[in-house]
A and B are shown apart, each in its own frame.
Chain A
């Protein structure tokens, strides 16, 4: 990891307008509500949070697959949030995505060789012979059998399909790989194979990962730094081991406390903090701190005054009036 900032986002907001089923009037749902973060070259930034908290939307805004409503995103020093589609095109190849569902993201009617070759052909990587050699090289890199190039996605297992998705993402030597729940659909033993592969590839090609998952164990395992999202906001950000061992935000604290643990050592188990209620809807955001209705330590202040994400120590930020472990 270097100190070079590969991507920098400032106050990114993304609103969707949705129509309520009952009354038919448009609602504004703020899926991403003012996110600022930096991703350094060569690191893995993990994003965790529960379903609907805005992880995928944030990721799509960061690579400008979705236009941001406001805020700015810089990639390798260029403000990509200002560029037109056309202006973005040359940068696209440097930012690649790997998705959760290897089944849905691969065209069932094309051979896996063609699927991996597609970005190379679109970007005129070279002659057909050069492209074919590159595809074989990519297959070897991700641990797939070169003899299976002419087979179709359905002939592969979930883990193998995820390798195909990774091979395609790597085809054009990207600098940033955004992986949105890349292992969530896989059995734990296959998940471990894919995570180990991603770690090897990162070392080999000095890749930068934005790694999104709801599995807190997976995120700790892969990340150098972690951001915790709640209702479209980053509520805590810090170095992975730091954040997991000494969470500051009451939400992070509760989240970590309820992950089922194997309990195979004599280390005491974290005391479980069971939150009440459900995650609120982003079109109906609570006043003050978005987390206050479910927060075990909330006071009246929390219902009226919104806490900003404050850097408490270098590299360690939290958005809470009463952070834990802050001393």
Chain B
């Protein structure tokens, strides 16, 4: 019997009422995060990655939003909890890291004060204890000379250092789950490498699970155990990283992987996905990818359900034989 999941998202639906009509930002997302598992969510801009995880955290503050489905954290339903009930969970048992570290930091307080406040809000520490722990945490995330830097302001840090501070804050309460939305997208590759390395090291020592959102398939391949590929708010494919990357099943995933220019070898021509991303106001009733899919069939006007063998699932009407034929023709 495998460990019961830390996080279990079931049929999440997030719809915004807009002047132009209902906008389905997330439409039927389901996945589990096991203890110590790293789950990567990938997909193009607007595919609903951020909105889905903000909904999980109860952070979509919009009067026009309608959220349905179920989100269980350690077995407890947390969708629809009040801000007050979410308070001990957010920043406590669930840590958060955003693309822009300044989302989580305030420019007017020192970084040490901000980490200490977070600690005091979620534990019974005294001011002095919290400050000592803040210094310890800054050291753990690789900030040199933490005793001196603890009294500095965020603007005195580089982008990579600020992201380290945010990670220190996210980790301050030994979270069970870390949710990171594009944590390295704004950073250079050498800094990205430092941050990703740090996240994995800390995940190991704190035994936490991670959900990482990114549009970079390479980051997913290096970090994630499990991948969720999203298209137009829906999961197109979900499976173990190695299966999704080496043996992708959904035509959208084929396009996504073929479009990546590699550092390790040169490909003469990149695969492209024809057309543009669908408008979120105008997602087809059937397969959301149908308008751009070169394998579209009559049945694709009906919505394909996520299905598959074992843990590798996808939402596409193509049969196994059809996929085999298509893939054996596709030359690398």
Contacts and interface: CB of A to CB of B under 8 A. Distances in A.
A199 B272 CA distance: 14
Interface residues of A, number: 43
A261 interface: yes
A214 interface: yes
A260 interface: yes
Which one of B246, B261, B263, B267 has the greatest number of beta carbons of chain A within 10 Å?
A: B263
A216 B189 contact: yes
Contact of B261 (A190, A195, A241, A258): A195
Interface residues of B, number: 43
A66 interface: no
Interface in A234-277: 240-241, 244, 254-256, 258-264, 267, 270, 272, 274-275
Contact of B193 (A195, A217, A272): A272
A221 B260 CA distance: 10
A150 B272 CA distance: 28
B260 A188 contact: yes
B271 interface: yes
Nearest to A276: B194
Contacts of A199: 269
B270 A259 contact: no
Which one of B197, B221, B270 has the greatest number of beta carbons of chain A within 10 Å?
A: B270
B221 A263 contact: yes
Given A189-B256, A191-B259, A192-B259, A263 B267 contact: no
A270 B262 CA distance: 13
B189 A50 contact: yes
Contacts of B245: 262-264
B277 interface: yes
A279 interface: yes
Interface in B125-165: 158, 160-161
B272 A214 contact: no
A157 interface: yes
Given A189-B273, A275-B190, A278-B191, A259 B259 contact: no
Contacts, number: 121
B269 A260 contact: no
Interface in B160-216: 160-161, 188-194, 196-197, 215-216
A241 B263 CA distance: 10
A310 B3 CA distance: 58
Contacts of A162: none
Nearest to B45: A187
B286 interface: no
A209 to B, nearest CB: 15
A261 B44 contact: no
A216 to B, nearest CB: 5
A54 to B, nearest CB: 14
A193 interface: yes
B217 interface: yes
Given A262-B245, A262-B257, A274 B263 contact: no
A258 B190 contact: yes
A220 B266 contact: yes
Interface string A128-169: 000000000000000000000000000001011000000000
Which one of A159, A190, A254, A270 has the greatest number of beta carbons of chain B within 10 Å?
A: A190
B216 A260 contact: yes
B35 interface: no
Contacts of B41: none
B18 interface: no
7 contacts: A187-B277, A258-B189, A259-B263, A260-B223, A272-B197, A274-B197, A278-B160
Given A189-B256, A221-B261, A222-B261, 9 more contacts: A157-B277, A196-B272, A199-B269, A217-B260, A244-B263, A256-B263, A259-B189, A264-B257, A274-B194
